Amino acid sequence: MYQVSDSTSLVRAHRRLLSRASSTPRVARVVVLLGLTSLVTDISSEMVATVLPLYLITIGGFTPLAYGIIDGLYQGATSLVGLASGFVGDRFRRHKDVAATGYGLSAVSKLLLATAGTAVSAVGAIVLLDRAGKGIRTAPRDTMISLSTPPERLGAAFGVHRALDTTGAVLGPILAFALLAVAPLAFHALFLVSFCIAIAGLGILVLLVQPQGVAAADAPERPPSLRGAFALVREPRYRSLLIAGGALSLATSSDAFIFLTLQRKLELGTPTFPLLFVGSAAIYMVLAVPVGRLADRVGRGRVLLGGYALLLGVYAALLLPADGWPVLVATLGLLGAYYAATDGVLMALGSALVPDEIRGSGLALLGTTTSVARLVASLLFGALWTLWGIHAAVAWFGVALVAAMALSALLLTRGHDRRHA
């Protein structure tokens, strides 16, 4: 009697363990390898991105408006390239090859930056090349992630990728800080180290990522067409997401402007500037996976809007008269949480709405819309700063973000599935 009872209990306990294990969100090997590729590449990219504002404004003597133009290029001037890469990946089912091209261009740009001066035309051209690389690689990379993941786990998969990606965003500024601490103003040496690291990231993608491991890799019966890709805009739910993403991005200041504002407010020294990126990226890294899983459970649209509410808190912290470490901690914490709730979640929302055969085109169109909006936002922020001062620029962006959130709340809740909206 007791043996039977004990055996039955053991069987039930074993079944419960199996049930829990099967319900635990897992991600595909492709997702992890792409995350590692992004991790190494982001070390390289963030080494440059975190010192570029200081390099151009301090060494190059750029005005805020001139830097706004460069930052606009950095944010989204090459987004149309991303749209083309998404379509090419769909058309020929070569998402990995397209992504590798983008990673390669970004690596070359680091080498060119080490040999160029501070002329606006030269720096602008190199930044354009780097962002072209990012624009080319982003859509096929996100497509490989989404095609290898069940729809109900998209938030978790993008969360895992963004967590690995952001680990590089944490390590990159630390490495930049260490190099500048040993050799102040040695920007060109930093750019060369960044180039070598970028090559290592490209190697992970080329040698380890196997495209046959991606679901739906077989060519469809009818090859995708541009007409079919743009027909997505006529689909109400996708169109609502497109408009909402663009409106929210128009009211989003770039990290560089936020940290320049914070540096002036708190009178931080030049060598510590890259560490501001570390603080927000560390929060993003920790929260990306749990927030992605939360979005899968409670609704991705709700989490997305909550993230922009956190960005509104960043603007408020920059405008408050208080200063000191509480403002620093609040700004970095809110900014990192904002990214965790918006970056991967937006792509998960788009992935759930776009058919497999045009997934790359659909995600690229969404990325293009938000990137162009961020380009315009950087130009506007630089112009507002130049004309009326940095606090006026932050205040205007805060007002615009409230309006964008109201519009997006209406669009994302109308006609969407309650779970994934």
Q: What is the pLDDT of residue 97?
A: 92
pLDDT single digits (tens) 175-222: 988 888 888 778 888 889 999 999 999 999 999 998 654 444 444 555
Secondary structure string (H, E, C) spanning the chain:
CHHHHHHHHHHHHHHHHHHHHHHCCCCCHHHHHHHHHHHHHHHHHHHHHHHHHHHHHHHCCCCHHHHHHHHHHHHHCCHHHHHHHHHHHHHHCCHHHHHHHHHHHHHHHHHHHHHCCCCHHHHHHHHHHHHHHHHHHHHHHHHHHHHCCCHHHHHHHHHHHHHHHHHHHHHHHHHHHHHHHHCCCCHHHHHHHHHHHHHHHHHHHHHHCCHHHCCCCCCCCCCCCHHHHHHHHHCHHHHHHHHHHHHHHHCCCCHHHHHHHHHHHHCCCCCCHHHHHHHHHHHHHHHHHHHHHHHHHHCHHHHHHHHHHHHHHHHHHHHCCCCCHHHHHHHHHHHHHHHHHHHHHHHHHHHHHCCHHHHHHHHHHHHHHHHHHHHHHHHHHHHHHHHHCHHHHHHHHHHHHHHHHHHHHHHHHCCCCCCCC
Pick the CATH number of 28-214+225-413 from 1.20.1250.20, 3.30.429.10, 1.10.1740.10, 3.30.70.980: 1.20.1250.20
By percentage, how much of the chain surpasses pLDDT 70?
Answer: 81
- pLDDT tens track for 101-155: 999 999 999 988 888 766 666 777 887 788 788 889 988 999 999 988 888 889 9
Higher pLDDT, 245 or 169: 245
Q: Cβ neighbours of residue 147 under 8 Å, at least 6 residues apart?
A: 214, 215, 216, 217, 356, 359
pLDDT at 220: 52
Other Cβ atoms closer than 10 A to 211: 15
Most confident of 11-20, 66-75, 243-252: 243-252
pLDDT in tens, 348-364: 999 999 888 888 888 88
Say what the pLDDT of residue 226 is: 63
In contact, 126 and 109? CB cutoff 8 Å: yes
Six token digits for residue 357: 């055969």
- Measure the CA–CA gap between 156 and 300, rounded to whole angstroms: 11
20 or 348: which leads in pLDDT: 348
Q: Out of 5-9, 22-26, 56-60, 180-184, give the one with best mean pLDDT.
A: 180-184
What is the C-alpha to C-alpha distance for residues 9 and 22, in angstroms, rounded to an integer? 20
72 band by pLDDT with thresholds 50, 70 and 90: low
Write down the pLDDT at residue 2: 38
What is the rounded average pLDDT for all residues in the chain?
82
pLDDT attached to residue 116? 75
pLDDT of residue 252: 95
Question: Quick one: pLDDT at residue 117?
Answer: 65
24 or 241, which is more confident?
Answer: 241
Of the candidates 159, 147, 160, the one whose C-alpha atom is nearest the C-alpha of residue 33 is 160
Confidence of residue 17 (pLDDT cuts 50, 70, 90): very low
Predicted pLDDT of residue 224: 63
Distance CA 360, CA 370 (A): 15
Cα distance between residue 118 and residue 185, in whole Å:
13
Angle between helices 325-353 and 359-388 (to 10 degrees): 150
374: phi then psi, degrees, rounded to nearest 5: -70, -35
Sign of CA dihedral 114, 120, 125, 127: positive
**What pLDDT was estimated at residue 126?**
83
Q: Is the pLDDT of residue 227 over 80?
A: no
pLDDT category at 4 given cuts 50, 70, 90 is very low
Average pLDDT over residues 235-241: 93
Q: Can you tell me the mean pLDDT for 243-252? A: 96
Query: What proportion of the chain, given as a percentage, has pLDDT over 90?
Result: 42
Whether the predicted pLDDT of 3 surpasses 60: no
Query: Has residue 171 got a pLDDT over 80?
Result: yes
| Length of the chain in terms of residues written | 421
Whether the pLDDT of residue 164 is over 50: the answer is: yes
pLDDT for residue 258 = 92
Q: Is the model more confident about 30 or about 128?
A: 30
**If you search the block for the tokens 């909006």, which residue do you land on?**
373
Contact (Cβ atoms closer than 8 angstroms) between residue 173 and residue 275: yes
Amino acid 22: pLDDT: 40
Q: Under 8 Å CB-to-CB from 385, ≥6 apart: which residues?
A: 64, 65, 68, 257, 392, 393
Cα 271 to Cα 22, 183, 265, 274, distances in angstroms: 48, 11, 16, 7
Would you list the domain boundaries of the chain? Answer: 28-214+225-413
**Rounded CA gap, 50 and 126, in Å?**
16
